[in-house]
A and B are shown apart, each in its own frame.
Chain A
Amino acid sequence: MTNSSLRVADLHVSFGTLEVLRGVDLAVPSGSTTCVIGPSGSGKSTLLRAINQLERPSRGDVLLDEVSVVRADPDALRRRIGMVFQHFNLFAHRTVLDNLVLPLRSVLRLSKEEARERALGHLGDVGLADKAPYRPSALSGGQRQRVAIARALAMRPEVMLFDEATSALDPELVKGVLGLMAELSATGMTMVVVTHEMGFARSVADQVAFMDHGRVVEVGPPGRVFESPSSPRLRRFLDQVL
């Protein structure tokens, strides 16, 4: 697996007159995990979506291994960046197996056999090989999210983005998905994780970035960010959530 570093420089995104990202700077070293925390509407999800061009930045730069990709072909860029969504977004009309096989065939042009083999391998990694012939609707939320993670990993991305991957899950299912993400982090995958799970951020992240009003207000190792926050806004936020 080749993992890349990710850097975001002075990134701006606007929806009409509403400026959602107002100059975000963030560096994620190769093989490390950065958790992005912050209040609702602070621009965390938009940041992830702008990194893989689901939203078009109006200004600023995104760099993979220090090479600017902000004007790269979006399809080519997205092949290098995996993304996991809050609502899983599994293809509802396809089986679990086909959810992995379809992009492998359509994007990476693998043969039917290769795609199937790789898909089953990744489903096995998340403990769901036996669910391969089922429709996503037959799975629990936690299982669906694990399939979504397997689907993204099967594309062998250099960076993984997680957009509130456990927010839509019942509490008892959160742990399994977070455990899987922690395992992935331990393998040295470059990860950016938008999360409300402060325990996860504290124990897994190499650095934590606090966003507010479209900017990264504070960034640092989890110990420092959680124990001795320097900005009053972060202190107020932590008082509310912890």
Chain B
Amino acid sequence: MSDLLDTFLNWDYIAEVLPDLLKTGLVNTLVLAGFSAVLGTVLGLGLALLGLSHRRWLRWPARVYTDIFRGLPAIVTILLVGQGLAVVARPLVGTNPYPLGILALSLIASAYIGEIFRAGIQSVDKGQSEAARALGMTHTATMARVVVPQGIRRVLPALVNQFISLVKDSSLVYFLGLLVSQRELFRIGQDLAANTGNQSPLVAAGLVYLAITVPLTHLVNAVDRRLREGRPVRGGDTLDELEPARG
């Protein structure tokens, strides 16, 4: 029993790995996940709008893109983009695997985020866009000012879930080969675990992941609850107007 405890919770190894985890790993993980989240969200919104187009030649590429990047294992995409495009990207980004790693993570995330946005936008009552069009607003203005803002608000919980996935999936950049200063949480934990034959550094890395993802999970729940139950904003004003304004 004490052997088992020592394998997973050896405080000496945890104390040894913790400074690296926090100073290097956490920062790098957040950089990877953060940039991918932003890029993935922008691409995802574009994909959603293409996917909702009335023109088949705009809809189809979005459909195919989504099928491919949602259907492939993340590691396959990361290796194909990270290694496959390395030669082409070298003049631009040097040997740093981060730009291509972020690109690969963004491509994967955008496929999921695009579907989330599409569902959200489609769930907005048709009367909202009809009212905007009847007032003379153009299709673009109607989407930008009326439909998309309401659609996005509805899918915030699902979107945060996607960001949690990105934090976890950022560990896969490990497979692109990282310099010491480029190591993210998983790699730092894994390195010391491999050197010592003890899993405690990985447990420490896992705890740091949890320190990011668990608060995000609770944020999802809070957002979800707020959207569901409505929250007083101003004198009895609630957010339950997210339901189509009927009756």
Give chain A's interface residues, CB within 8 Å of chain B.
52, 54, 74-76, 78-79, 81-83, 85, 87-93, 102-103, 106-107, 133-138, 141, 144, 148, 151-152, 155, 168
Contact = CB atoms under 8 A, between A and B. Distances in A.
Contact of A89 (B127, B141, B241, B247): B127
Residue of A102, A141, A152 with highest tally of chain B CB at under 10 A: A102
Contacts of A85: 127, 130-131, 134
Contacts, number: 103
Interface stretch (B57-65, B84-92, B194-202, B232-240): B232-240
Contacts of B138: 75
B240 A137 contact: yes
16 contacts: A54-B133, A75-B137, A82-B135, A83-B134, A91-B146, A92-B150, A92-B245, A93-B150, A102-B145, A103-B132, A103-B135, A107-B135, A135-B238, A137-B241, A137-B245, A168-B246
B71 interface: no
Interface in B130-155: 130-138, 141, 145-146, 149-150, 153
A92 B242 contact: yes
A73 to B, nearest CB: 10
Given A89-B128, A138-B236, A152 B244 contact: no
Given A75-B138, A138-B237, A151-B135, A88 B130 contact: no
A107 B141 CA distance: 9
Nearest to A79: B136
Residue of A102, A133, A135, A151 with highest tally of chain B CB at under 10 A: A135
Contacts of B130: 54, 85, 89
A155 B136 CA distance: 9
Contact of B245 (A76, A90, A107): A90
A91 B131 contact: yes
A88 B134 contact: no
B137 A93 contact: no
Given A93-B150, A135-B238, A137-B245, A78 B133 contact: yes
Nearest to A74: B133
B161 to A, nearest CB: 22
A133 B241 contact: no
B247 A168 contact: yes
B170 to A, nearest CB: 32
A107 B241 contact: no
A54 B241 CA distance: 25
Given A137-B230, A137-B245, A138-B238, 18 more contacts: A52-B134, A75-B136, A79-B136, A85-B131, A87-B244, A89-B127, A89-B131, A90-B245, A91-B150, A92-B244, A93-B149, A106-B137, A107-B137, A134-B234, A134-B237, A135-B237, A135-B241, A137-B243
